[in-house]
Structure 1
Amino acid sequence: MSSIRRRVDSQLRRDVRLLGRLLGEVLIEQEGQALFDLEERVRHLSIERRRGPKTGRRAAATQLAALLREMPLEQAEPVLRAFSTYFRLVNLAEQHHRIRRTREHAIGGQGGPQRGSLEAVMQTLRQAGVPAQKVRELLMSMRVTLTLTAHPTQAARRTVLEKTYRLARLLENRDRCHLTPREKTDTQLSMREEITALWQTDELRRERPTVGDEVKNVLWYVEEVLGEQLALMPETLDWAFERVYGEPLGVLATPVRLHSWVGGDMDGNPLVTPEVLADTLRAHRARGLRALMNQVARLGWVLTQSERHAFVSEELKASLAEDAAALPEVMARYGSRTTGEPWRRKLRFIEARLQAALAYVEGRRAGRTEPLPPAAYRSPADLLRDLEILERSLIEAKAKQGGLSKVRRLVSLVQAVGFHLAELEVRTPAEDARSAAASLAGGPAPTEGGARLLAVLQRMREAQAESGEGCCRTLILSMAASAEDVLAAFQCARGAGLWDEARGCATVDVVPLFEQLGALDDGPRILRELFTHPEYRRHLQARGVQEVMVGYSDSGKEVGLLAASAALYRAQSALTQVAHEAGVRLRLFHGRGETVARGGGPAQEAILALPPGSVAGTYKATEQGEALDHKYARPELARRTLELVLGGVLLHSLDAQPRVAREEEASFRATFDELAEIGRRAYRALVWEDPNFVPFFQAATPIEQISALPIGSRPSKRSAGGLESLRAIPWSFAWTQNRAIVPGWYGVGSALEELGSRPGGQELLRRMYRQWPYFHTVIDNVAMVLAKADMAIASRYAALAPESTRPLWERIRAEYTRTRRWVKQVTGETRILEGNQQLRQSIALRNPYVDPMSFLQVELMRRKRAGCENCERPLLLTLSGIAAGMRNTG
């Protein structure tokens, strides 16, 4: 390890020690020495259970269990809160450490640019012989779309997150400034105040958030962090490109776009009504216009050039004359103040046009029906025309270094987020589209879901009339299983007036979501059928793209990790081929979650592992609610996340990564399909065919408490029913809580063992791991889950289940042991995660602090089932605490 790496890691330990010490002081002050001593006793026993001599570990576990079993509820809650708060602080320190490591890497120059950064990617492209012009052409057309979703297994309240963000800023201030002794003392006092306030704040919501609350939450990340990073992205790309290729990239629009499902996802959420969707769209527009007004006002303090000292173009003069005629009241109010300052005057007119558009939106939200004022901007294109006038005039005025970059950043922001901050998407079950289409064709009245869809489409039409097509133009069909599903939605859109006669197409893109094994395998046939439908084909020719979403969640829950992974790879390869043969541009939309069972894992590696040709300059994926905090809460984290995604798309699209030969890949894919079938049979035999599984799952996981946790507006089930109706998020969340994390690995060991035990099988698996990125990524993700799982603790949960389920639990334990053994055989490592020391250390450091919460959760579940009436709140605290400790929970 280099001296810089050692120094940076020691800084992380220093931060954790400081935050832990301050928390200890707060505990003593707020709860007393006795509570602090009790918490310390629990902590030391947990550490001894993990790290003590072998002979003492079992004794420590027994003592810990006994201590927590006898602990009164009035003591259990503050102890739980202490560990949960500690994890919030550790997560904060680790986030800050990621930022510090990136900065130290750049400053220290540790053997080149940081791995995965845009500069490193550009170096790889150049070394692969990709010419500068080819990179430039791709960047001009590349489009990366991140769709933000609610799905909040992130159980923290916004109030709590705000306090941790303030602590983050104090840590940054401590690192980046040479503080005087007084300033150091004041900074530490401020940190102590935030931790005290954090302790005194209720970390549990009193009631479930509304859809409106979730809209505000997700837009916070855009307003406070992501908007600025998108505006800066062209400069970031230009800097990396010029540094490697030695020539400027040129003016570039930001390739990233933000979309959102929050307020538009009707799949199993009855709270997303047509009225909620309409209000969400107007909330997006109002907040977007306000954000742009703030940016324009700030620009006014930059573009202060006087006509005495800078040349004013004729185009700018003519534009100002038009503005003065259209907005005489603005001229009367600000004309004298901006005399001789044409750029500032132009910005005043721009601000007034934005204000007029905002007043119209707010009037509509209040129920008023006045028309849009003539002076108001009608679309982002109108604003961009004015900004481009400013841009050209500054170049003519020799002001490239006098504010041009700030104008271009605003242009990039408008191009990326328009007036809406994030483009809203609508998701609905395919069965609702079928019902609605049948009713339009003279059939029976639509179902409740079908009627809701028709009403939502009407709101989409009204919104497009008010704000332009770009506000909401994607209709996703969950559980799509046929071409008829897509055509039904297409007819509904046309029937609702979402139609452009001039182009001969709908003004929405209908996106089938293939998420179960049968639909994934049948997807290529469905596309072929759609492409031969005359009216739909004309629609596609006008729209220019067919988007298809592939779901990583329900397929994994249905058939297990290996079978889902194989089906997804097959589907993406075949869908790409079908679209290519038909001459239709395909955009694949990856419905990833945060857990491995739902497609989670490192972003750049996941992109590079996708089938050849399936990216082609276009990438779209969901960003789950729980991911937003650790990916986008700070500007540096957001920048790193965006660079990793963009870098992956660049490398994949330009085919600049090592690839296995086509013939070899075909052989590997056939082997993987065989592994998947073995894994599917093992997984299905456990989850869907063993009659003891559902009783075991209900008893050995806190699924009942997860359903009661007020962390999201959407119910945990799509509809009434059993395991089949349970959503993939609470399914994964439950298994992470009990530390078994079964969906992330079950069936993998059986598959690897059966194939690896054949003559030459083990060497084949090792060669696949070395040479095929997709298989390498799957195995690495399984290894990460195995390292996080703890079967000793999971056994304590299993003991809560009926005795009749004991053989089932023994099967799970045996499969876990088998999977660990065979993953090490495939990777060639003697220990799980041997090659990822940083992650292994992070897990090892966290486990002793997660363990007491798990022990307490088991005890509280036992008490609740025995009739304890006051266990609910402490139980919910264990859920949020373990979630904070395990990080990727759903």
Structure 2
Amino acid sequence: RTLIHKMVEVNNCLKQLDNKDIADYEHNQLMRRLRQLIAQSWHTDEIRKHRPSPVDEAKWGFAVVENSLWEGVPNYLRELNEQLEANLGYQLPVDFVPVRFTSWMGGDRDGNPNVTADITRHVLLLSRWKATDLFLKDIQVLISELSMVECTDELRDLAGAEGAQEPYRYLMKKLRSQLMETQAWLEARLKGQKLPKPAGLITQNEQLWEPLYACYKSLQACGMGIIANGELLDTLRRVKSFGVPLVRIDIRKKSPRHTEALGEMTRYLGIGDYESWSEADKQAFLIRELNSKRPLLPRQWEPSEETREVLDTCKVIAEAPRGSIAAYVISMAKTPSDVLAVHLLLKEAGIGFALPVAPLFETLDDLNNANDVMTQLLNIDWYRGFIQGKQMVLRGANLQSNYQFSVRRLDHRCSACA
């Protein structure tokens, strides 16, 4: 991260040197600063001597967003919009989102055994904190810029009597207060403090989008499109591309861990050993429990450490703001019950939304069987209704043979049942 900051500043110096109209003293200052930055970089050890923690990896990923993507995404969309307008007479919608960012950092306990439920919770909080920090900077710029008085009746109603003099600034200051309150709460959580959620806590993108978009529509309606399409539009596009989570996280865990956890549960309940059941019996049990309105486990149950980790991970997912988790990826998926098991564990954790659960077929045999696995899943009424025509499937990165044939069959099956 340190070297990234230095390289960014080097790039800024070089851009300024391209200006042939700069004065000699400015040229000398820039050259002096370049020498300093190069010397600093040269004497900085870019190779770490210690293995980075999952939190360190996540922080590096957030630094890439802050130093590159935060400016890069709206700049790219602005250029794309200009080209479309010049060549096709078409303008991109304000809410156009060509890309969203997802990370495995802090969520992949298969690739990194040091990732735990506590680590995932910490990274999710840290990601939200960084998003809040970046949006605070954007809102501060908008407070400075949106000094206009003329607005629509809709915006005037939103601003109320208090904001009648400067309605745009009033709404931006109100949003700034919410962001500051949210950031303070997130900082406390990152320090291990358990505080009640403040009334204005920002957890959903709509809380950012609505006041910003109201200002945008008002400016456009009042003939101030040149202002609306400046920093305000960039911020709106960041809300759509990054939003409250900044980057979404993929959770990844091996299928045997879920099987072992359910085996421990069924043994505790005295209904048999899930691990030894046939695939048909597993599916029957899972579908029955997924359709049931009662919880499977009593609250006072104390599982083993391994099962507790599985359940805690599902609880972290259930407690995270909607949109923070991109998908739950099941490594070494082989059977329909591997997918249904995760859905049941998430249900037990109290998840309030339909999270995509993606089987990862990692061996050639598993990939060749993937069509049959997905056919069985899509023939289950509960499952087909739950996924609402959307299914994510992953394959092992090293698989080559029979890949195209298997994927074509699988794609046809998923499309037919969607």
Same fold (TM over 0.5): yes
Specify the alignment match of 1:314 in structure 2. Answer: 153
Q: What is the aligned-residue RMSD (CA, Å)? A: 2.5
Once the two structures are TM-superposed, the CA of residue 390 in structure 1 deviates from its matched residue by 0.9
Contact 1:493/1:499 (<8 A) preserved: no
CA distance in 2, matches of 1:163, 1:378: 33
Specify the alignment match of 1:419 in structure 2. Answer: 244
Read off the aligned partner of 2:334 and give its amino acid letter.
Answer: A
Specify the alignment match of 2:227 in structure 1. Answer: 402
Contact 1:238/1:249 (<8 A) preserved: yes
Specify the alignment match of 2:80 in structure 1. Answer: 237
1:59-99 C-alpha deviation (Å, 9 max, x unpaired): xxxxxxxxxxxxxxxxxxxxxxxxxxxxxxxxxxxxxxxxx
What is the DSSP-based 3-state SS (H/G/I as helix, E as strand, rest coil) of the residue aligned with 2:328?
strand
CA distance in 1, matches of 2:408, 2:303: 37
Contact 1:437/1:489 (<8 A) preserved: no
Contact 1:432/1:447 (<8 A) preserved: no
1:156-197 C-alpha deviation (Å, 9 max, x unpaired): xx3344434433333333345555555555444433333332
Once the two structures are TM-superposed, the CA of residue 361 in structure 1 deviates from its matched residue by 2.0
CA distance in 2, matches of 1:455, 1:160: 36
Q: Is 1:458 aligned to 2:303, yes or no?
A: no
Read off the aligned partner of 1:422 and give its amino acid letter.
Answer: V
Q: Is 1:525 aligned to 2:372, yes or no?
A: yes
1:558-614 C-alpha deviation (Å, 9 max, x unpaired): xxxxxx3343323332221111221x2xxxxxxxxxxxxxxxxxxxxxxxxxxxxxx
1:634-677 C-alpha deviation (Å, 9 max, x unpaired): xxxxxxxxxxxxxxxxxxxxxxxxxxxxxxxxxxxxxxxxxxxx
Q: Is 1:277 aligned to 2:120, yes or no?
A: yes
Once the two structures are TM-superposed, the CA of residue 529 in structure 1 deviates from its matched residue by 1.4
Once the two structures are TM-superposed, the CA of residue 277 in structure 1 deviates from its matched residue by 0.9
CA distance in 1, matches of 2:91, 2:192: 51
Contact 2:255/2:338 (<8 A) preserved: yes
Contact 1:483/1:529 (<8 A) preserved: yes
1:471-499 C-alpha deviation (Å, 9 max, x unpaired): 12511111212222112212211122124
Specify the alignment match of 1:794 in structure 2. Answer: none
CA distance in 2, matches of 1:266, 1:365: 21
CA distance in 1, matches of 2:113, 2:140: 40
Distance 1:194 1:425, change over 3 A: same
Matches within 5 A, 1:224-263: 224-263=67-106
CA distance in 2, matches of 1:321, 1:360: 27
Q: Is 1:441 aligned to 2:266, yes or no?
A: yes
Equivalent residue pairs, number = 386
CA distance in 1, matches of 2:237, 2:89: 24
Specify the alignment match of 2:253 in structure 1. Answer: 428
CA distance in 1, matches of 2:111, 2:235: 38
Q: Is 1:213 aligned to 2:70, yes or no?
A: no
What is the DSSP-based 3-state SS (H/G/I as helix, E as strand, rest coil) of the residue aligned with 2:14?
helix
Normalized per residue, the structure richer in helix is 1
Read off the aligned partner of 1:518 and give its amino acid letter.
Answer: D
Distance 1:499 1:353, change over 3 A: closer
Specify the alignment match of 2:391 in structure 1. Answer: 546
Distance 1:516 1:229, change over 3 A: same
Of structures 1 and 2, the one with the larger relative CO (CA 8 A, separation 6+) is: 1
Specify the alignment match of 1:491 in structure 2. Answer: 344
CA distance in 1, matches of 2:45, 2:229: 47
Unpaired runs of at least 5, structure 2: 268-272, 275-301
What is the DSSP-based 3-state SS (H/G/I as helix, E as strand, rest coil) of the residue aligned with 2:50?
coil
Q: Is 1:569 aligned to 2:411, yes or no?
A: no
Contact 2:248/2:323 (<8 A) preserved: yes
Once the two structures are TM-superposed, the CA of residue 292 in structure 1 deviates from its matched residue by 0.9
Once the two structures are TM-superposed, the CA of residue 395 in structure 1 deviates from its matched residue by 1.9
1:762-812 C-alpha deviation (Å, 9 max, x unpaired): xxxxxxxxxxxxxxxxxxxxxxxxxxxxxxxxxxxxxxxxxxxxxxxxxxx
Distance 1:401 1:162, change over 3 A: closer
Distance 1:449 1:427, change over 3 A: farther
Once the two structures are TM-superposed, the CA of residue 237 in structure 1 deviates from its matched residue by 3.0
Read off the aligned partner of 1:516 and give its amino acid letter.
Answer: T
Farther-moved stretch of structure 1 (163-172 vs 213-222): 163-172
Contact 1:527/1:575 (<8 A) preserved: yes
Specify the alignment match of 1:864 in structure 2. Answer: none
Specify the alignment match of 2:173 in structure 1. Answer: 348
What is the DSSP-based 3-state SS (H/G/I as helix, E as strand, rest coil) of the residue aligned with 1:489?
helix
CA distance in 1, matches of 2:349, 2:57: 28
What is the DSSP-based 3-state SS (H/G/I as helix, E as strand, rest coil) of the residue aligned with 2:101?
strand
Once the two structures are TM-superposed, the CA of residue 446 in structure 1 deviates from its matched residue by 7.2
Distance 1:293 1:193, change over 3 A: closer
Once the two structures are TM-superposed, the CA of residue 238 in structure 1 deviates from its matched residue by 2.2
Distance 1:249 1:194, change over 3 A: closer
Matches within 5 A, 1:359-398: 359-398=184-223
Distance 1:177 1:487, change over 3 A: farther
Once the two structures are TM-superposed, the CA of residue 312 in structure 1 deviates from its matched residue by 2.5
What is the DSSP-based 3-state SS (H/G/I as helix, E as strand, rest coil) of the residue aligned with 1:255?
coil
What is the DSSP-based 3-state SS (H/G/I as helix, E as strand, rest coil) of the residue aligned with 1:370?
coil
What is the DSSP-based 3-state SS (H/G/I as helix, E as strand, rest coil) of the residue aligned with 1:441?
helix
Which is greater in Rg? 1
Once the two structures are TM-superposed, the CA of residue 349 in structure 1 deviates from its matched residue by 0.9
Read off the aligned partner of 2:333 and give its amino acid letter.
Answer: A
What is the DSSP-based 3-state SS (H/G/I as helix, E as strand, rest coil) of the residue aligned with 2:245?
coil
CA distance in 2, matches of 1:499, 1:352: 28
CA distance in 1, matches of 2:94, 2:48: 46
CA distance in 1, matches of 2:91, 2:5: 39
- Identical counterparts, % of pairs: 25
Once the two structures are TM-superposed, the CA of residue 246 in structure 1 deviates from its matched residue by 3.3
CA distance in 2, matches of 1:217, 1:540: 34
CA distance in 1, matches of 2:46, 2:226: 48
Contact 1:384/1:414 (<8 A) preserved: yes
Contact 1:303/1:403 (<8 A) preserved: no
What is the DSSP-based 3-state SS (H/G/I as helix, E as strand, rest coil) of the residue aligned with 2:393?
strand
Specify the alignment match of 2:17 in structure 1. Answer: 174
CA distance in 2, matches of 1:188, 1:232: 28
CA distance in 1, matches of 2:304, 2:409: 34
Contact 2:94/2:237 (<8 A) preserved: no
Farther-moved stretch of structure 1 (240-249 vs 451-460): 240-249
What is the DSSP-based 3-state SS (H/G/I as helix, E as strand, rest coil) of the residue aligned with 2:235?
helix
CA distance in 1, matches of 2:89, 2:229: 22
Distance 1:549 1:449, change over 3 A: farther
CA distance in 2, matches of 1:481, 1:195: 53
CA distance in 1, matches of 2:89, 2:314: 50
Contact 2:95/2:240 (<8 A) preserved: no
Read off the aligned partner of 1:411 and give its amino acid letter.
Answer: L
Contact 1:440/1:495 (<8 A) preserved: no
Distance 1:354 1:516, change over 3 A: same
Once the two structures are TM-superposed, the CA of residue 447 in structure 1 deviates from its matched residue by 7.3
Distance 1:376 1:490, change over 3 A: closer
CA distance in 2, matches of 1:226, 1:289: 16
Farther-moved stretch of structure 1 (391-400 vs 435-444): 435-444
Contact 1:440/1:492 (<8 A) preserved: no
What is the DSSP-based 3-state SS (H/G/I as helix, E as strand, rest coil) of the residue aligned with 2:189?
helix
Distance 1:420 1:499, change over 3 A: closer
Specify the alignment match of 1:303 in structure 2. Answer: 146
Unpaired runs of at least 5, structure 1: 1-157, 325-334, 501-506, 556-563, 585-890
Matches within 5 A, 1:723-802: none
Distance 1:519 1:447, change over 3 A: farther
From 304, 317, 331, the equivalent of 1:478 is 331
Distance 1:177 1:218, change over 3 A: farther
Read off the aligned partner of 2:204 and give its amino acid letter.
Answer: S
CA distance in 1, matches of 2:92, 2:119: 43
CA distance in 1, matches of 2:351, 2:25: 63
